[in-house]
Each structure stands twice: as C-alpha cells, then as structure tokens.
Structure 1
Amino acid sequence: MLHNQKNGSTVAIFRLGVVGLAAPEGARVSGESRIIGVDLNTNRFEEAKKFRVTEFVKLQDHKRPVQEISS
C-alpha cells in the first residue's frame, strides 16, 4: 500500500504475484521513479519488468533482515 509518497521517491513491493504486480502501476502514477520488486521467486522478475519495476531484490541472496538491506 502506498502512503505519503512524494514524486521521485522509492517504493519497494514485496511479493510479485498477481496482487503485487498491481502495485507498480499505482506507484508509477503517483510519481515514484524507483520501484523495487522483492520476491523469493526470481521467475517473477521478468513479468514484473512489464509492469515497470525498475530493480529487483532476490531474498535468498541476503542473510540479514530486510530492514538492514533497505537502509
């Protein structure tokens, strides 16, 4: 869910399934310039590119909590 975002800001979308892929469009319309997709299933990354997700994080590549990765 998008909340208090500003034009040009960054948004991360967790889980790029059917519902998760609706979020990038909302983010783009709201003016986000950096849309990061986060998922365990890397097969979803190619489909997410069609929805203008600009970057991807494969959770298996990180041993630290997501709060540390995103800061």
Structure 2
Amino acid sequence: MDIELPDISGVEVTRRMKSVEQFADIPVVMITGHSERHLVVDSLKAGAADFVVKPFDKTTLLAKLRRLLDSAG
C-alpha cells in the first residue's frame, strides 16, 4: 500500500482495514519514497506487516512478500 494516495493516506487506509474483521488478517506492506522514522512507526502502529522504501529492488520486495505468505500458513 502506497503511503501517498490521492485522497487519503495509506496509513489511514491500513488503520481502517485492520478495524474491519473481514480484512483484519490481510497483511499490508507499506511502500513509500520517504524513509522518515515517523512514517515507519505510524505504518506499523496502523497494522502494516512491513515497510519498503522506493526505489527498491524486486528481490527485496519478493523476499518480504514470501516471508509474509510463509507466516500466513
């Protein structure tokens, strides 16, 4: 989920998703071009499972996604 969406922040979308039972277990990986500490902290507090800073390489993203899928069972 990109942090910078047109009408609402990705952090807020994640927070809202996690508050709805049917979406609460969906893992969210936040993506942004900024690496400020508060963005990482806010994202994780909202329920994000991980955080990736652009630009990122495909290997890094795939490793994070595999880890999430493996932990999901």
Equivalences for 1:2-17 in 2 at 5 Å?
Answer: 13-15=1-3
The one-character-per-residue Cα deviations of 1:1-36 (angstroms, maximum 9, x if unpaired) are: xxxxxxxxxxxx112586221111232222343111
Provide the secondary structure at the position in 2 that maps to 1:41. coil
C-alpha displacement of 1:47: 1.6
- Specify every segment of 5 or more residues in structure 1 that has no aligned partner in the other structure, as ranges: 1-12
Match of 1:36 in 2: 29
RMSD: 2.6
Q: TM-score, normalised by structure 1?
A: 0.55
The one-letter code sitting in structure 2 at the alignment partner of 1:61 is F
* TM score, norm. by length of structure 2: 0.54
Richer in helix (by share): 2
1:25 aligns with 2:18: no
The alpha-carbon deviation at position 40 of structure 1 amounts to 0.9
Alignment gaps of 5+ in structure 2? 66-73
Question: What is the identity, as a one-letter code, of the residue corresponding to 1:34?
Answer: P
2:53 is matched with 58
Amino acid at match of 1:54: A
